[in-house]
């Protein structure tokens, strides 16, 4: 009996010892979740920015935790749900409204109004209205844009030159794109593709991105799915038929080979043109690839096409767990302002390689670099995807199922679009049933 009790006691004691004993200081602790995990190239610079803030503070102490982009979302979703969210964290800007509505994030407008310190106040004129609109709920700001992304056409000038093309030949319409792309295609005798000019499914392309340029979308203004019109079909067929000289299997094998070689198809000159987000700039730099390239707006269907691309960005949010002390909120807001100040945004841009949301900071950052200048210019044409409460992942898991089936030839484009629309309709109906 005594032995068992003793054993239990030892276990309980060791467990309690495990759980405590890591309080850093007596200052109020603020937690900040970011996407620069241990081992990431940007880890040390983000850590340095946090240390700088901590050194300038007597009242607050920020503890940063970095997750890889891939793990971040599951973590933050569950943490918010269980009221263990960090004081400050990044999230997606397109669905700020849903969190504002459920009251899990602080009203930034209120905090701004209550902030009478006069130091480092947020200068809203330095942020894009288009981004802030996504963070606005019932006329109040519930988050601030933290970073911005955009998409553009990257083209390889060395390869252009080889074909006797110049920058003037960079395509601006879909038909020009197809004509020029064909010039670069190389296929071996056994069918293996070793080089292509362009493919509308490679890189950071999406079906909805191409749709937008043709003035179409997945949903109408009331968020009803409108997916199977002849116009939608036309865009889908254009994507499917772009490289009709190759089989889908050959195209897939080409993509797999790129991944296995661990190369970006653009930096390894296996594609002449690619649609990518601004991150490719950083990828090219770090890969050390010696290529001469340029960036332009993504070609549009024809002269009437719309200059638009899918761009998003992270929002910076302050989470309300329901038990935050006033000191925590005040401290978190100080750090919040710090992260959005011009100098910090500039440093973040440099270390993360992201385009940040602070306009002046980014203008300084891109100055003298024509590629970055063009990319920053394209941010103004970036549009974010709409938040659909009944299908938050409408562009991802929901649509991808039908998209791959259409690509693999398991479904005709007509049948695929109809099936996808019915899928959304069913989700919408079920959502309404649950929330009536």
Partner 1 sequence: MKKQTIGSLKQLRKKENRMGYLFASPWLIGIIVLGAFPILASFYISFTSYDMSSAPQWVGLKNYIILFTNDDVFWKSLWNTIYHVVIAIPLGLIVGIILALLLNNKIKGMSIYRTLFYLPCVVSIVAMSLLWMWLFQPQFGIINEVLSPIYNLFNMEPILWLQSSSTSKITLILMGLWTAGGSMVIYLAQMQDIPTSLYESAEVDGANWIQKTFRITLPLMTPSIFFNFIMGIIGGFQVFTIAYIMTNGGPAQSTYYYAYYMFDKMMSDQAMGMASAMAWILLVIVLIVTMFALRLNNKVVYLGEEG
Partner 2 sequence: MEQTIKKPRFTKRQRTRIKHGILHIVLLLCSVGFMFPFLWMLFTALKTPQELLLGFEQFFPADPQWGNFKEAVTMIPFLLYLKNSLIIVILVVTGTLFSATTTAYAFAKLRWKGKEKWFIIMLATLMIPIQVILIPTYVMYSYIGWLSTRLPLIVPAFFGGGAAFYIFLLRQFFMGVPKELSESAVIDGASHIQIFFKIMLPLSKPALMTVGLFTFMATWNDYFGPLIFLSNPDHWTLAIGLRAFQTRFGGRYDLMMAASILVMLPTLVIFFFAQKSFIEGITFTGIKG
What mask of x and - would describe binding to partner 1 in positions 194 to 233, judged by CB under 8 A?
----------------------------------------
Contact region with partner 1 (CB under 8 A), list: 73-81, 112-120, 142-150, 340-348: 73-81
Q: Where are the beta strands (DSSP E) in 133-226?
A: 136-137, 140-141, 144-145, 147-148, 151-156, 186-187, 193-195
351 binds partner 1 (CB under 8 A): no
SS3 372: helix
CB of 414 to partner 1, least distance (A): 16
* Residues 24-43 within binding reach of partner 2 (CB under 8 A): 37-39
Distances, alpha carbon 34 to alpha carbons 50, 244, 290, in Å: 11, 43, 32
| C-alpha–C-alpha distance, residues 44 and 62, integer Å | 15
Give the DSSP H or E segment for 382: strand 382-383
392 binds partner 1 (CB under 8 A): yes
325 binds partner 2 (CB under 8 A): no
SS3 60: strand
234 binds partner 2 (CB under 8 A): no
202 binds partner 2 (CB under 8 A): no
Please list, in sequence order, all residues whose beta carbon lies within 8 angstroms of the beta carbon of residue 288, skipping any fewer than 6 positions away. Answer: none
Contact region with partner 2 (CB under 8 A), list: 67-75, 123-131, 329-337, 421-429: 67-75
Give the DSSP H or E segment for 31: strand 28-34
What mask of x and - would describe binding to partner 2 in positions 69 to 88, judged by CB under 8 A?
-xx--xx--xx-xxxx----
224, 343, 397, 412: residue in contact with partner 1 (rule CB under 8 A): 397
135 binds partner 1 (CB under 8 A): no
| C-alpha–C-alpha distance, residues 245 and 256, integer Å | 19
- By C-beta, is 31 or 428 nearer to partner 2? 31
- Asked if residues 150 and 381 have their Cβ atoms less than 8 Å apart, the reply is yes
- By C-beta, is 295 or 420 nearer to partner 1? 420
- By C-beta, is 77 or 229 nearer to partner 2? 77
Q: Burial level of 168, CB count in 10 A (0-12/13-18/19+)?
A: exposed
Sign of dihedral through CA atoms 301, 276, 366, 108?
A: positive
What mask of x and - would describe binding to partner 1 in positions 253 to 282, judged by CB under 8 A?
x--xx--x----------------------
Give the DSSP H or E segment for 327: helix 326-339
18-29 as b/e: b if 16+ CB within 10 A:
eeeeeeeeeebb
207 binds partner 2 (CB under 8 A): no
CB of 141 to partner 1, least distance (A): 19
67 binds partner 2 (CB under 8 A): yes
305 binds partner 1 (CB under 8 A): no
98, 136, 173, 287: residue in contact with partner 1 (rule CB under 8 A): 98
Binding partner of residue 110 among partner 2, partner 1, none, CB cut-off 5 to 8 Å per kind: none
Q: Which residues make beta-bridge pairs with 382?
A: 309
The binding site for partner 2 (CB under 8 A) comprises 1, 3-4, 7, 11, 15, 18-19, 37-39, 65-68, 70-71, 74-75, 78-79, 81-84, 256-262
């Amino acid at each position: 009996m005594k032995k068992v009790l003793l054993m239990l006691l030892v276990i309980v004691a060791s467990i309690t010892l495990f759980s405590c004993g890591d309080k850093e200081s007596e200052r109020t602790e603020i937690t900040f979740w970011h996407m620069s995990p241990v081992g990431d190239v940007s880890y040390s610079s983000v850590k340095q920015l946090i240390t700088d803030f901590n050194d300038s503070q007597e009242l607050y102490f920020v503890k940063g935790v970095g997750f890889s982009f891939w793990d971040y979302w599951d973590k933050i979703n569950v943490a918010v749900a269980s009221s263990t969210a960090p004081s400050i964290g990044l999230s997606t800007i397109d669905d700020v409204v849903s969190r504002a509505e459920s009251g899990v994030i602080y009203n930034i407008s209120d905090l701004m109004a209550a902030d009478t310190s006069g130091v480092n106040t947020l200068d809203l004129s330095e942020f894009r209205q288009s981004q802030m609109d996504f963070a606005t709920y019932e006329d109040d700001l519930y988050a601030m844009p933290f970073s911005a992304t955009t998409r553009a056409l990257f083209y390889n000038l060395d390869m252009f030159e080889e074909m006797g093309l110049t920058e003037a030949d960079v395509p601006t319409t879909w038909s020009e794109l197809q004509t020029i792309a064909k010039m670069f295609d190389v296929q071996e005798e056994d069918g293996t593709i070793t080089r292509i000019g362009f493919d509308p499914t490679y890189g950071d392309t999406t079906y909805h991105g191409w749709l937008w340029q043709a003035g179409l979308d997945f949903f109408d203004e009331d968020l009803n799915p409108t997916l199977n019109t002849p116009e939608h079909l036309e865009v889908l067929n254009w994507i499917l038929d772009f490289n009709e000289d190759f089989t889908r299997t050959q195209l897939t094998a080409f993509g797999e080979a790129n991944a296995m070689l661990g190369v970006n198809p653009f930096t390894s000159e296996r594609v002449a043109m690619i649609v990518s987000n601004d991150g490719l700039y950083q990828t090219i730099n770090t890969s050390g690839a010696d290529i001469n390239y340029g960036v332009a707006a993504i070609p549009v269907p024809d002269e009437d096409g719309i200059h638009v691309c899918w761009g998003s960005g992270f929002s910076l949010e302050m989470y309300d767990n329901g038990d935050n002390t006033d000191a925590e909120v005040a401290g978190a807001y100080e750090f919040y302002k710090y992260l959005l100040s011009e100098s910090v945004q500039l440093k973040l841009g440099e270390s993360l390689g992201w385009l940040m949301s602070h306009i002046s900071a980014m203008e300084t950052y891109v100055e003298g670099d024509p590629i970055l200048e063009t990319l920053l210019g394209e941010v103004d044409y970036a549009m974010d995807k709409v938040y659909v409460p009944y299908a938050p992942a409408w562009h991802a898991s929901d649509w991808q199922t039908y998209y791959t089936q259409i690509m693999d030839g398991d479904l005709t484009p007509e049948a695929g679009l109809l099936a996808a629309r019915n899928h959304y309709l069913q989700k919408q109906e079920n959502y309404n049933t649950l929330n009536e």
